[in-house]
Amino acid sequence: MTANPSAAQTAVNAAAAASRAAEAASGTPAAVLHADPRFRELKHRFRWFVFPVTAIFLAWYLLYVLLCAYARDFMAHKVVGNVNVALVFGLGQFAATFLTAWVYSRYAARRLDPLSAELRAEAAK
Amino acid sequence: MTDHKTLTIALFTVFIVVTLAITVVAGRRTRSAADFYAGGRSFSPLQNGVAIGGDYMSAASFLGIAGILALSGYDGFLYSIGFLVAWIVALLLVAEPLRNSGRFTMADAISERLRSPQVRVAAGISTIVVSIFYLIAQMVGAASVISLLLGVSSDASRIWTIVAVGALMIFYVTVGGMKGTTWVQIVKAVLLMIGACVMTVWVLAKFHFNISDLLGAAAHQSGKGDGFLQPGLKYGATDGWSKLDLISLGIALVLGTAALPHILVRFYTVPDAKSARKSVNWAIAIIGTFYLMTLVIGFGAAALVGSKTIKTADPSGNTAATRLAEYLGGGPGTNGGAVMLAFIAAVAFATILAVVAGLTLASSSSFAHDLWAGVFRRGRTTDAGEVKVAKIAAIVIGGVAIALSVFARELNVAFLVALAFAIAASANLPAIVFSLFWKRFTKAGAVAGVFGGLVSAIVVVSLSPIVWGGASDTKPAVTLTAAQADKCGVDAKNKHVGNATALLSCTKVAPIPLENPGLISIPVGFICAAAGTILTSRRRTDADDQAFEELEVRALTGAGAH
């Protein structure tokens, strides 16, 4: 992931210009935006992030539920004092939730919002 | 000595007066349909995040989870975790695209690209069914909780509690609309967080902030030893089916939240998708902190009050949190104990009212906007006309919920919360996710998914041990109390009853041993939606493709969003 969103935007600007020429022929404003390479990039960035991250996150949760159902001896193992694996794993679900929300928000602010705002502004014209 | 009942009623009254005043003020500022349905889309992310917390954290998740933790130990934590992690699905997949593509209701977002009255009707029906099930669970729960808190257990007091709670929620919704309801939820969430925070710090201080000591004391006082701190005392305790039931519950909780209509409409109350994202982040912070605190409260109740004392007061453990509050204040019979008990009881009351108001608003909005304006009048309505219908719908739906709750007041309806989550995950989620992300998705697929998920969830529950209580490997025979035996119409020595609170029969064995339908109904919902789509995919036109392109652009950029 590059930290600089404008670099990616410049990269697609050339292609955008080309598509703008073609857009006169096609119909609605939405169709024009949809054909814009910057929109394809936005869609790609969005899907590339949220689908795998949702899948990994749900797998982590499912692992926890399965362990609760089928690996009770493992979950009963004490880590420190009266704190056992089940409690640590449960708190791990909280940690994963907070972490995922934070990582996604950072990603969205850097890689999605600027591109999305740019396209929205153009559509409003 | 202060009588806690007088104080509790005084605090209830203060809460009611304050929220009614807020509602009236909010009502004066409600003019357009966008004001009534979506609070004018003018709430800040923080306000909406707090309100989401207020809408979501029900009495079931405060009193109920604390009770399960106090009686069955670790298994209460499974609920907390499911209720929290579900927000990631809402954050990543649903909140922002839904905010951009819909207008006032869940059905708006689903039927946006499919443009079909049938899809709107299906989504509207599902919205109303989920909300009414959830409402009944809250209202019947309210009746028993408030009876317990006030120490009155007559049948008449239960009925009057249900009627009073119903009348208040109808007032909040009809007078204050989304603005009034939101402020009630914000006030409730702040109260709930303050109450939970005070109790958590107090419990931890008693154990010198040593978590291990708290856990040890809880395990010891529960009389169940180390098993109290491990999964399995309540869920998945018997045969393989009960383990599947645990998984079924977990999946429904995590997939249901992002498809609960009364939660989804909250995303429309902020100006744009970015604000929707920020409000979910606030909600995650608040809800996560809250569920961490319930862990301390539940284990604290077991450690300090004792599981036995809690169980004697109420077999389901709903009074664990209030008993703990009383103990922390100085114990029964002391002024401090009475004050703390009254305060936490008032918080629980506020919790119930805010949740039922949100549910009534979501279902009446859907009735007016989806069924009446969208389908019956086919869009030939005015804003004012639609809002008027929504208010009438709130009164009718509220009235129906009151009647059903009075009718069901003696039944064990706690399962309805889990059922509402399961229906949301089975009927609504496939339609929402496929309509947002699947190009080939069709009207027939949406209708098939909604009805397939809805019907299968209800069918599985109606064949489950919740309805048929006969003893089996999954539900071993229980020792009946005289009252239970009387209710079931069997001899107290009868050894064929596995669930004495079964709705239809205590002795007939359930055909499907799952109490949570999600494991079956969620795949059925998704498969129906996919199959309906594939079977009708040849009927897709260029206009359909174009509608999806428009939706994608709107969902991702917010261009053209309401």
Query: What is the mean predicted confidence (pLDDT) over A35-56?
Result: 96
pLDDT single digits (tens) A64-121: 999 999 999 999 999 999 999 999 999 999 999 999 999 999 999 999 999 999 999 9
Q: With CB atoms and an 8 Å threshold, state whether B74 touches A64.
A: no
CB contact under 8 A, B88 and A101: yes
- The packing angle between helices B383-407 and B335-366, to 10°, is 130
Residue-range domains of chain B with CATH: 4-25+43-414 (1.20.1730.10)
Q: So what's the pLDDT on residue A18?
A: 47
Q: Give yes or no for residue A16 having a pLDDT over 60.
A: no
Contact B254 A61 (CB under 8 A): yes
| Domain interval for residue A59 | 5-124
Instruction: Report which DSSP code applies to B510.
Output: P
Smallest Cβ–Cβ distance between A72 and the set B231, B247, B254 belongs to B231
Q: Which of residues 251-290 of B touch A (CB under 8 A)?
A: 251, 254, 274, 277-278, 280-281, 284-285, 288
| CA dihedral (B494, B498, B504, B505) positive or negative | negative
CA A119, CA A115: separation in Å to the nearest integer? 6
Q: Which residues contact B312 (CB under 8 A, 6 or more apart)?
A: none
* Contact across the interface for B230 and A116, Cβ inside 8 Å: no
Inter-chain touch A83–B215, beta carbons under 8 Å = yes
Question: How confident is the model at residue B548, as a pLDDT?
Answer: 94
Sign of CA dihedral B63, B66, B69, B71: negative
B287 Ramachandran zone, left/alpha/beta (phi>0; psi -120 to 50): alpha
308-347 in chain B: CB under 8 A from chain A: none
Q: Report the SS3 class of residue B207.
A: coil
Q: How many domains does chain A have?
A: 1
| End-to-end CA, chain B | 57
Mutate to test the interface with B, among A23, A26, A32, A34 (most CBs of B within 10 A): A34
**In this complex, which of A30, A46, A65 lies closest to B553 when CB atoms are compared?**
A30
Q: Does pLDDT of A8 surpass 80? A: no
Tokens in use for B510?
Answer: 């359930």
Is B81 in the A-facing interface, judged by CB distances under 8 Å? Answer: yes
Chain B CB contacts of A97 under 8 Å are: 84-85, 87-88, 284, 288
Alpha-carbon gap, residue A21 to B314, rounded angstroms = 73
CB contacts, 8 Å: A87 with chain B: 74, 77, 215, 229
* Binding-face residues of B in 18-47 toward A, CB within 8 A: none
Residues paired with B468 in a beta bridge: B505
How many DSSP H helices and E strands does chain A contain? Answer: 6, 2
Provide, as residue numbers in chain B, all residues whose Cβ is less than 8 Å from the Cβ of A108: 274, 277
By mean pLDDT, which of A10-24, A48-62, B377-391 is the weakest? A10-24
What single DSSP character describes residue B537?
G
- Residue B44 has, within 13 A of its CA and on its CB side, a CA count of 3
Which residues on chain A are in Cβ contact (under 8 Å) with B516?
none
B362 neighbors B370 (Cβ within 8 angstroms): no
CB contact under 8 A, A30 and B246: no
B251: distance to nearest CA of chain A, Å? 8
Say if CB B242 and CB B236 are below 8 A apart: yes
Do B280 and A101 lie within an 8 Å CB cutoff? yes
* Cβ pair B559:A34 closer than 8 A: no
**Sorting pLDDT into bands at 50, 70 and 90, what band is A3?**
very low
Q: Which residues contact B455 (CB under 8 A, 6 or more apart)?
A: none
> Searching chain A, which residue's CA lies closest to the CA of residue B559?
A120
Determine the residue of chain B that is closest to A29 in CA distance.
B550
What sign results for the dihedral spanned by CA atoms B259, B263, B266, B272?
negative
* Number of inter-chain CB pairs under 8 A, A vs B: 157
Closest CA to A120 of B549, B560, B552, B103: B560
* 3-state secondary structure at position B166: helix
3-class DSSP state of B59: helix
**Cβ contact A97–B93 (<8 Å):** no
Q: A100: nearest CA in chain B?
A: B88
- pLDDT above 50: residue A17: no
From A65, A109, A62, select the one nearest B281 (Cα to Cα): A109
Q: What is the pLDDT of residue B483?
A: 83
Mutation for A interface: B257, B296, B548, B557, most A CBs within 10 A: B557
The C-alpha atoms of residue B325 and residue A26 are separated, in whole angstroms, by 67
Q: pLDDT category, A1, cuts 50, 70, 90? A: very low
Contacts of A83 in chain B (CB under 8 A): 211-212, 215
Pick the closest to residue B476 from B209, B226, B242, B153 (CA basis).
Answer: B242
Query: What type of residue sits at position B105?
Result: T
What is the structure's pLDDT at A26?
A: 52
- For B272, the enclosing helix (H) or strand (E) is none
pLDDT at B368: 94
Query: Given CB atoms, is B237 within the 8 Å cutoff of chain A?
Result: no
Provide the chain B residues 448-467 that lie in CB contact (below 8 A) with chain A. Answer: none
Nearest chain A CA: its distance from B84 CA (Å)? 7
| Cα separation, B477 vs A82, whole angstroms | 33
CA distance B225 to chain A (A): 11
Q: How far apart are CA B471 and CA B216, in angstroms?
A: 34
Comparing CB atoms, the residue among B251, B254, B559 nearest residue A33 is: B559
Picking from B69, B74, B81 by the largest number of A CB atoms within 10 A of its own CB, the best residue to mutate is B81
Question: In this structure, what token pair is assigned to residue B551?
Answer: 């939706």
Q: Do B216 and A116 touch (CB under 8 A)?
A: no
DSSP, residue by residue, B227-266: GGGSTTSSSS-SSHHHHHHHHHHHHHHHHHGGG-HHHHGG
| Helix, strand or coil, per DSSP, at residue B364 | helix
- Residues of chain A with C-beta less than 8 angstroms from the C-beta of B281: 101, 105
A79: part of which helix (H) or strand (E)?
strand A78-80
Q: How far is CA B281 from CA B52, B100, B284, in A?
A: 10, 18, 5
Please count the residues of chain A: 125
The DSSP code sequence of B133-161 is HHHHHHHHHHHHHHHHHHT---HHHHHHH
Question: Quick one: residue B458, left, alpha or beta (phi over 0 = left, psi -120 to 50 = alpha)?
Answer: alpha
Nearest residue in B to A66, CA atom? B247
**Which of A68, A70, A82 has the CB atom closest to B219's CB atom?**
A82
Interstrand relation of A78-80 and A83-84 (parallel, antiparallel or unpaired): antiparallel
Beta-carbon contacts of B224 under 8 Å, excluding residues fewer than 6 positions away, are: B73, B233, B307
Q: If you measure CA to CA, which chain A residue comes closest to B277? A: A105
Task: Specify the higher pLDDT residue, A23 or B439.
Answer: B439
Interface touch B84/A75, C-beta < 8 Å: no
Which of B74, B213, B235 is facing A86, going by the closest CB pair? B74
Count of Cβ atoms closer than 10 Å to residue B482 Cβ:
8
Kindly give the confidence (pLDDT) of every residue in chain B, 562 residues in length, as a single tens digit, with 9 standing for 90 and above: 457 788 888 988 999 999 999 999 999 999 899 999 999 999 999 999 999 999 999 887 888 899 999 999 999 999 999 999 999 999 999 999 999 998 999 999 998 899 899 999 999 999 999 999 999 999 988 888 888 777 777 888 889 989 999 999 999 999 999 999 999 999 999 999 999 999 999 999 999 999 999 999 999 999 899 999 999 888 888 788 999 999 999 999 999 999 999 999 999 999 999 999 999 999 999 999 999 999 999 999 999 999 999 988 888 888 899 999 999 999 888 889 989 988 998 898 899 999 999 999 999 999 999 999 888 888 788 888 899 999 999 999 999 999 999 999 888 787 898 899 999 999 999 999 999 999 999 999 999 999 999 999 999 999 999 999 888 888 888 888 888 888 888 888 888 888 888 888 888 999 999 999 999 999 999 999 999 999 999 988 899 999 999 999 999 999 888 8
Query: Does the CB of B559 have a partner CB in chain A at under 8 Å?
Result: yes
The residue length of chain B stands at 562
- Say how far apart CA B273 and CA B278 lie, in whole Å: 9
ipTM, two decimals, is 0.94
- Contact (Cβ atoms closer than 8 angstroms) between residue B189 and residue B53: yes
> In 3-state terms, what secondary structure has residue B470?
strand
